[in-house]
């Protein structure tokens, strides 16, 4: 059984079925009715007027969001461990035309309001230093930790106070919402978020993520940037259909709950081996090289994380029966 990444999981059947349903001649690019429906569907979900664009990857979503919030000569405050800093090959720098990521620290890849304030305070207000224009947080974080609505709101206030746009990388937004039981609105715009990268691919989709703008004015230039980046697929209806299928009957939440439940099962078995609280679908475990090898010998695959740690990621399609053997193996270490 593989616990490398939710990226590796299969596509869920409802999404697949949705592809078949749109497989007829229709208007190209995003001129089809499914693409056109996204604004309304996400506006309903978020209880406010939003603009929603499909893109194929979280990297593209994040980079487009940052380009909408930060000029080429500006800076984006984020966590040192943020995906935008560590795992996107410089996509933010490419899309923003060279904006600088201004890095902070914090446990579980979470940024505290004080950390953001300190970064801002450390920058002279002159033309020699790159001035911050945006703040980007990941929810759930790269370490499977979750910001609560209150925590986001506290960051949102700092952002507003310093004129920073607020972006949320929600590659695992569904897992965060599923964990918190809050509304999507409470975790985003009501807490000050301007743009959300809303991930679906890790959660059962095939190739569609949504970029959700809570400030509709930011969306128009982004439509142009999306095309300019080669991300306006000519058969866009196959992307829109995936997202709509994920929204139908809260499939996105059900899938995230399933993945989270799997992680909790592992967390319970792991006890004080846990490096971070398990709040989404990622489990970071303290294990010796020998212990890791013994788990692998039993057929469980996962990534080592630095020295002495392992990362286990559960997916929407892993049942309790799939996961329990690993939980037992961990408990038995």
Of residues 147-176, which lie at the interface with a second copy (CB under 8 A)?
A: none
Give whichever of 153 and 233 is closer to a second copy, judged by the CB atom.
233
Sequence-distant (6+) residues with CB within 8 A of 185 are 46, 47, 48
Residues 87-106 that bind a second copy (CB under 8 A): 87-91, 93-101
Virtual CA dihedral for 35, 39, 43, 46, nearest 10 degrees? 60
Report how far residue 63's alpha carbon sits from residue 163's, in angstroms, rounded to the nearest whole number.
19
Residue 55 binding a second copy, by CB under 8 A: yes
Residues 185-224 that bind a second copy (CB under 8 A): 201-202, 206-207, 221, 223-224
Tokens of 184: 């999507």
Asked if residue 197 lies in contact with residue 169, where contact means CB atoms within 8 angstroms, the answer is yes
Q: Please identify, using beta-carbon distances, which residue of 156 and 242 lies nearer to a second copy.
A: 242
> Is the separation of the CB atoms in 214 and 188 below 8 Å?
yes
Beta bridge partners of 20: none
Closest separation between CB of residue 242 and a second copy, Å? 11
Of 8 and 161, nearer to a second copy (C-beta) is 8
How many Å apart are CA 168 and CA 306, to the nearest integer?
26
How far, in Å, are 21, 32, 159, 276 from residue 26 at the CA level?
Answer: 12, 6, 42, 48
Q: Does 4 bind a second copy (CB under 8 A)?
A: yes
Binders of a second copy in range 58-87 (CB under 8 A): 58-64, 71-73, 75, 86-87
Could you say which residues in the range 14-53 bind a second copy, by CB under 8 A?
16, 19-20, 23-29
**C-beta of 103 vs 333, nearer to a second copy:** 103
Task: List the x/- string, 248-267, binding to a second copy by CB under 8 A.
Answer: --------------------
Q: How far is the CB of 209 from a second copy (least distance, A)?
A: 10
């Amino acid at each position: 059984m593989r616990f490398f990444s939710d990226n590796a999981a299969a596509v869920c059947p409802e999404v697949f079925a949705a592809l078949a349903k749109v497989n007829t001649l229709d208007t190209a690019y995003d001129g089809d009715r499914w693409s056109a429906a996204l604004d309304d569907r996400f506006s309903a979900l978020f209880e406010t007027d939003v603009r929603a664009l499909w893109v194929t990857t979280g990297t593209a979503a994040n980079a487009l969001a940052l380009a909408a919030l930060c000029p080429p000569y500006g800076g984006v405050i984020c966590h040192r461990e943020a995906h935008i800093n560590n795992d996107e090959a410089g996509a933010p720098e490419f899309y923003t035309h060279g904006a600088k990521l201004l890095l902070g620290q914090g446990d579980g890849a979470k940024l505290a309001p004080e950390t953001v304030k300190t970064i801002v305070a450390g920058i002279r207000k002159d033309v020699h230093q790159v001035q911050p224009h945006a703040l980007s947080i990941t929810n759930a974080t790269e370490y499977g930790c979750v910001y609560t609505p209150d925590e986001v709101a506290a960051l949102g206030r700092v952002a507003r106070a310093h004129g920073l746009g607020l972006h949320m990388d929600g590659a695992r937004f569904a897992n965060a919402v599923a964990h918190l039981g809050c509304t999507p609105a409470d975790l985003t715009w009501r807490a000050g978020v301007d743009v959300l990268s809303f991930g679906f691919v890790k959660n059962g989709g095939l190739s569609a993520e949504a970029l959700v703008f809570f400030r509709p004015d930011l969306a128009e230039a982004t439509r142009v940037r999306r095309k300019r980046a080669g991300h306006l697929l000519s058969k866009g209806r196959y992307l829109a259909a995936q997202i709509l299928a994920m929204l139908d009957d809260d499939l996105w939440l059900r899938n995230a709950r399933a993945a989270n439940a799997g992680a909790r099962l592992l967390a319970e078995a792991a006890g004080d081996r846990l490096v971070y609280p398990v709040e989404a679908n990622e489990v970071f475990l303290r294990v010796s090289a020998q212990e890791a090898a013994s788990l692998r010998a039993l057929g469980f695959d996962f990534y080592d994380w630095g020295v002495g740690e392992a990362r286990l990621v559960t997916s929407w399609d892993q049942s309790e029966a799939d996961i329990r053997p690993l939980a037992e193996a961990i408990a038995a270490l």
